[in-house]
Structure 1
């Protein structure tokens, strides 16, 4: 949520900055709402002052010769009328404020000054690369064909039978490899990068989704549970982990957490995209990285968090590139984002495997998550950051395709062998 004070101070400047995200801020609507809010405040304050003055009249009326009972009756009648008017006005004021709050909640975060202009992912700018795509001396296949050739251990037909399209069943060595990847990621982030591991619910309430920005704008992308309460399946562990500090004040920063969870997305806007394989599933798993940072340190925290995600790809010796997202591809809550894109031989292209974002105080304002600044002694909004470290299913795809052999087997990466009981190959 943007700082309302910034909007009030210069809505035209905010509108100009948001254009890089392709968002047109309706300045006229904002000014109209603000004018109504201000007028309501003026009228309310005027009535309250009138009520205060009226309550002091009893002494004046008694002094002018009226009896105490008569003075009280006259003043109480006046107060009753003012209270009725005040109640009606406060109801209107509350309605205007709610409308204004909802309107502001729908505005995306301001982009960082370093975010390049651009319309979509084709305009993202490459920052760095790691490794070289392997040159194979045989015709490579994608992870779907590999899964079928390895005893059908990656079974999309079974997933469709059990749940529907965009689901998969993993078995045997591939299921174990998937589990090994998650374990390796968690252990690396906890033991080497200093994260605290948390285990969180994958069912979240509406307040949690509003806190991180999924509601109200992106409800169609969520799986909502039926019942008399607003429960949803979490689209990412970013939601429950970031909300750990909703409505709280922390004394010490930074704080770093990692969590391995299942994630659920309806993929409402992706009809026809990535229908083959595991790239875009309704249910998938991620190891998430979350930072709570002091504002002055959040830019450095983004570099650190992104580096931790890169460390997993480097340990697995997977070629990848790092890009900074342009304004048109930048997420609703993000002010700056790096995407890590891993090389997939089966598609002969780089595909996103991690998205690492600094949201500034955008989420903390929505959540009322604050920290006590030791320099000022005041409670201030902290900064939140998040990133995949990594998406487990997509990492599995990358390992299968990059470590495939001519006979259809898959070599187990060196760092994963301790998690695979020493197994050298999946075949």
Structure 2
């Protein structure tokens, strides 16, 4: 969310920057709403001041035995006028808030131009994509052949875009999540949290999922309470500090959680419908950092490294790209995507997005710290996947597959699994 005054002061610069992400800012509409809001506030203040004077005159005239009929009539007129202005003010405030909530974050000038993944700039590649003396299978065929994944029964339970893992598959999912949490908490200094999976509209609005992405969310409720299933742990983790002033000495805050994530994937039908890449429910370990704005660049690079550490620990080939301004998420001002190699598709696919939100989420959720002068100021929020379990599992199965149909897993997983090899028939071996 933006400060209306700041956007107006930026003027054509705000228009230019938002145009880089395909959004047309109507400055005249924003200025009109802001002007009407300010005028209403002034008018209401003037009427309240007059109302106070008239009330004083009524009391004084009454004590002196004078006629107060006209004064009381004027007092009633003023109250009616104040109520009318306040009602209009509420309407203007709502219109201004709705407009500001609909405006995406200003992209960072370092983000390349463009509006799709084709315009992303590659930063680095790590590891060599494996080559095979045979035609590599995709993770769906590997999972179903070994019996560790069952998409047919998942469809029977819930419809398409769900999965059931079993045996070594379920153990592998649990092991991946535990490995990621151990890396983030023991090596990278994050504090693990267990958070609610159902949150309020206010909480969803705080991180930018609402109102824009309501059709992509699963909604439920209890009695008259409206609740949403979280699309990522970023939502509850960031909002833990909503409406709070964090002491500067406590920054940066580093939070992590392993949760299920729920997304309707509205508008994506026909894309990645096979397998684990794009599902309605999936598990993910999320990282959130709340930092002083002056430290944001350093903290963002640090978080990218934390996500990369998960892939390095597994020995998976991947690359890091900087997203184009027009392909950056609604709330982010700068995003690095980490893409893992998927052999069956002969390409890199996104497995983690690490983003700098500037003050965008902090303003919406009212998360502040104190500056050197002791006055409250907005923090910067960062978040990234570290990592999604399903997509990591897909990449592991495909990059680690053998000609006989077995999968030889990384040594780093053995302490969590108790086995390293999944045979073609689904049995496991040390």
Class of the TM-score when normalised by the shorter of the 2 chains: over 0.9
- C-alpha offsets along residues 138-188 of structure 1, whole Å, 9 cap, x if unaligned? 2111001101211x2211101100100001110111111111110000001
Matched, 1:250 2:250: no
- Equivalent position to 1:167, from 159, 162, 166: 162
| Residue 219 of structure 1, aligned match among 214, 223, 226 | 214
1:37 Cα deviation after fit:
1.5
Cα distance in structure 2, aligned partners of 1:70 and 1:394: 83
The farther-off stretch of 75-84 and 231-240 is 75-84
Whole-angstrom distance in 2 between the partners of 1:362 and 1:351: 27
**What's the counterpart of residue 347 of structure 1?**
345
Equivalent residue for 1:385, pick from 382, 393, 401 = 382
- Give secondary structure in 1 for the equivalent of 2:306: helix
The residue that corresponds to 1:397 in the other structure is 394
Aligned to 2:104: 108
The equivalent residue for 1:19 is 19
TM-score of the pair, normalised by structure 1: 0.95
**Which residue in the other structure is 1:235 paired with?**
231
Gaps in structure 2 of 5+ consecutive residues: 425-430
Q: Aligned partners of 1:256 and 1:317: how far apart in 2?
A: 25
Task: Assess if the C-alpha contact under 8 Å between 2:405 and 2:423 holds in 1.
Answer: no
- Is the counterpart of residue 30 in structure 1 residue 30 in structure 2? yes
Task: Provide closer, same or farther for how the CA distance between residues 67 and 382 of structure 1 changes in structure 2, counting only shifts above 3 A.
Answer: closer
Query: C-alpha displacement at 1:34, in angstroms?
Result: 2.1
Asked whether the equivalents of residues 122 and 321 of structure 2 are also in contact (C-alpha less than 8 Å), the reply is: yes
**Does 43-52 or 306-315 show the bigger shift?**
43-52
Contact 1:356 1:385 in 2 (8 A): yes
Q: Which residue of 2 aligns with 1:68?
A: 64
CA distance in 2, matches of 1:68, 1:96: 43
One of 317, 328, 341 as aligned partner of 1:330: 328
1:292–1:382 contact (8 Å) kept in structure 2: yes
Contact 1:173 1:426 in 2 (8 A): no
Alignment correspondent of 1:98: 94
Measured in 2, the distance between the counterparts of 1:58 and 1:399 equals 82
Q: How does 1:162-201 map to 2 (within 5 A)?
A: 162-201=157-196
Which residue pairs with 2:54 in the alignment? 54
Equivalent residue for 1:416? Answer: 413
- In 2, are the aligned partners of 1:305 and 1:387 still within 8 Å (CA)? yes
CA distance in 1, matches of 2:276, 2:365: 33
1:242 CA displacement = 0.6
Please say if residues 411 and 420 of structure 2, whose CA atoms lie closer than 8 Å, have aligned partners that are also in contact.
no
Q: Distance in 1 between matches of 2:113 and 2:65?
A: 73
Distance 2:423 2:170 in 1: 11
Give the distance between the partners of 1:106 and 1:426, measured in 2 at CA.
51
Which is worse superposed, 290-299 or 35-44? 35-44
Q: How does 1:304-315 map to 2 (within 5 A)?
A: 304-315=302-313
Residues 44 and 86 in structure 2, CA contact (< 8 A), matched pair in contact too: yes
Q: 1:272 pairs with 254, 270, 273, which one?
A: 270
Q: 2:286 aligns with which of 285, 288, 295?
A: 288
1:50 deviates by 2.3
Structure 1 residues without counterparts, runs of 5 or longer? none
What's the CA shift string for 1:197-247, capped at 9, x where partnerless? 001011111111000000000000000115532111100000111110011
- Indicate conservation of the 8 Å contact 2:8/2:27, yes or no: no
Separation of aligned partners in 2, 1:426 and 1:26: 60
Deviations 1:234-279 (A, max 9, x none): 0000011111001111112110011000000000110100011110
Q: How many residues align?
A: 421
